[in-house]
Structure 1
Amino acid sequence: MQTNQLLLIFCGALLLLGLLAFFAGRSKATRLRSAGTAMFAQPDQYAWFTVLSTAGPAVVVSALGAFVLLLMGADIPTLYLLSASLVIAAIGLMASLNQVKPDFHARQAIERVIRMVLAGAALISIFTTFGILFSIISEALRFFQMHSFWEFITGTTWNPGASFLASAGRGDGSGAEFGSVPLFAGTFMITAIAMLVAVPIGLLSAIYMSEYAPRNVRTIAKPVLEVLAGIPTVVYGFFAAITVAPIIVNIAGFFGLDASYNNAVAPGVVMGIMIIPFISSLSDDVINSVPDSMRQGSLALGMTKGETIRDVVIPAALPGIISATLLGMSRALGETMIVVMAAGMRPNLTANPLEDMTTVTVRIVAALTGDQEFASAETLSAFALGLVLFAVTLTLNLVSVLMIRRFREKYRVNNL
Structure 2
Amino acid sequence: MALSWILLTLLALAVLGYFAGRSRALASAEGDARALHSLPSYYGYNVALTALVPALGLLILWLLVQPLIVNNTVSGMIPDTAIAEGSDRGLVMSEVRRVAYGLDGAIASGLLSEVQARNADADIEALTQSLKDAGQVLTQDISKPILLAAQKYRSMTSTGSTAMQIMVLVVALLGAAFAYIRTHREFRARNVVEQGILALLLLAASIAILTTVGIVLSMLFETMNFFQLHSWKDFFFGSTWAPNFRGGSELSILPLLWGTLYISVIALLVAVPIGLFAAIYLSEYATGATRSIAKPLLEILAGIPTIVYGLFALLTVGPALVSLFGDGGALGLGWMASSNAVLTAGLVMGIMLIPFVSSLSDDIINAVPQSMRDGSLGLGATKSETVRQVVLPAALPGIVGAILLAASRAIGETMIVVMAAGAIAKFSGNPFEAMTTITTRIVSQLTGDTDFASPETLVAFALGLTLFVITLGLNIFALYIVRKYREQYE
Length-normalised TM-score, structure 2: 0.78
- Rounded to whole Å, the distance in 2 between the matches of 1:56 and 1:176 is 52
SS of aligned partner of 2:449? coil
Question: 1:66 offset after TM fit, Å?
Answer: 1.8
In structure 1, C-alpha distance between the alignment counterparts of 2:287 and 2:183, rounded to whole Å:
58
Deviation (angstroms), 1:124 = 2.0
Provide the rounded CA distance (Å) in 1 between the counterparts of 2:42 and 2:57: 22
Q: Does 1:127 find its partner at 2:210?
A: yes
388, 391, 398: which one pairs with 1:313? Answer: 391
- 2:257 & 2:281 partners in 1: Cα distance? 35
Match of 1:105 among 174, 182, 188: 188
Matched letter for residue 52 of structure 1: L
Q: Which residue of 1 aligns with 2:226?
A: 143
Structure 1 match to 2:283 = 210
Could you tell me which amino acid in structure 1 is paired with residue 445 of structure 2?
A: A
Question: Aligned partner of 1:227: which letter?
Answer: I
Q: Give the counterpart of 1:29 among 2, 25, 31.
A: 25
Among 292, 301, 309, which residue is 2:379 paired with?
A: 301
Are residues 1:13 and 2:9 paired?
A: yes
Q: Give the whole-Å Cα distance in 1 for the aligned partners of 2:393 and 2:332.
A: 40
What's the counterpart of residue 477 of structure 2? 399
2:378 is the alignment partner of 1:381: no
Post-superposition offset of 1:281: 0.8
1:198 aligns with 2:271: yes
Most deviating of 245-254 and 117-126: 245-254
Number of the residue aligned with 2:45? 48
Does residue 182 (structure 1) correspond to residue 255 (structure 2)? The answer is yes
Moved more, 194-203 or 365-374: 365-374
1:102-151: CA deviation from partner (whole Å, max 9, x where unpaired): 22222221111111111111222211111111111111111111221121
Instruction: Find the counterpart in structure 1 of residue 336 from structure 2.
Output: 259
**C-alpha separation in 1, matches of 2:182 and 2:392:** 57
Amino acid at match of 1:223: P
Q: Please list, as runs of the form range in 1=range in 2, the aligned pairs for 1:191-340 lying within 5 A after superposition.
A: 191-253=264-326, 254=331, 256-261=333-338, 262-340=340-418
- For 2:31 and 2:428, how far apart are their aligned partners in 1? 85
CA distance in 2, matches of 1:13, 1:246: 59
CA distance in 2, matches of 1:16, 1:352: 65
1:33-64 residue CA offsets vs partner (Å, 9 max, x unmatched): 34557212111121111111111111111111
Contact 1:40 1:105 in 2 (8 A): yes
Q: Provide the secondary structure at the position in 1 that maps to 2:35.
A: coil
User: Which amino acid is the alignment partner of residue 209 of structure 2?
Assistant: I
Distance of 1:23 and 1:396 partners within structure 2: 52
The equivalent of 2:59 in structure 1 is 62
Partners of 1:356 and 1:9 in 2: CA distance: 53
Taking the aligned partners of 2:7 and 2:241, their CA distance within structure 1 comes to 53
- 50-59 or 70-79: which moved more? 70-79
- Residues 143-163 of structure 1 show CA distances to partners (whole Å, capped at 9, x for unaligned) of 1112211211111111112xx
Cα offset for 1:16? 2.6
What is the deviation of 1:246?
Answer: 2.3
* 2:33 is aligned with 1:71: no
**Residue 15 to residue 179, structure 1, CA distance change in 2 (3 Å):** closer
CA displacement at 1:394 relative to structure 2: 1.1
Question: Is the CA contact (8 Å cut-off) linking 2:56 and 2:168 kept in structure 1?
Answer: yes
Per-residue Cα deviation, 1:253-291 (whole angstroms, up to 9, x for no partner): 416252232210011000000010111111111111112
Given the superposition, is the C-alpha separation of residues 303 and 89 from structure 1 closer, same or farther in structure 2, using an over 3 Å criterion?
same
Divergent runs of 4+, >4 A: none
Q: Is the CA contact (8 Å cut-off) linking 1:322 and 1:400 kept in structure 2? A: yes
Q: Distance in 2 between matches of 1:401 and 1:357?
A: 31
AA aligned to 1:400 is A
Tell me how far 1:301 sits from its aligned partner.
1.5
Identity %: 49
Question: Which residue identity is paired with 1:258?
Answer: W
C-alpha distance after superposition, 1:49-92 (max 9, x if no partner) = 11111111111111112212123336452111121111111111
Partner of 1:154: 237
Conserved 8 A contact 1:290-1:316:
yes
Deviation at 1:252, TM superposition (A): 2.6
Choose 337-346 or 397-406, whichever is displaced more.
397-406
What SS does the aligned partner of 2:435 have? coil
The SS at the match of 1:325 is helix
Deviation at 1:11, TM superposition (A): 2.4
**Secondary structure at the residue paired with 1:77?**
helix
Residue of structure 1 in register with 2:172 after alignment: 89
Q: How many residues of Structure 1 are paired with residues of Structure 2 in the alignment?
A: 398
Tell me, yes or no, if the aligned pair for 2:51 and 2:172 is still in contact at 8 Å: yes
Q: Distance in 1 between matches of 2:367 and 2:162?
A: 55
CA contact (8 A) 1:348 1:356 kept: no
Moved more, 63-72 or 252-261: 252-261
Verify the 8 A CA contact 2:377 2:386 in the aligned structure 1.
yes
CA distance in 2, matches of 1:293, 1:119: 38
The Cα RMSD (Å) is 1.6
Provide the rounded CA distance (Å) in 2 between the counterparts of 1:255 and 1:104: 86
Question: How far did residue 248 of structure 1 move?
Answer: 2.1
Q: Distance between the aligned counterparts of 1:100 and 1:362, measured in 2?
A: 59
Distance apart, 1:351 and its partner CA: 1.1
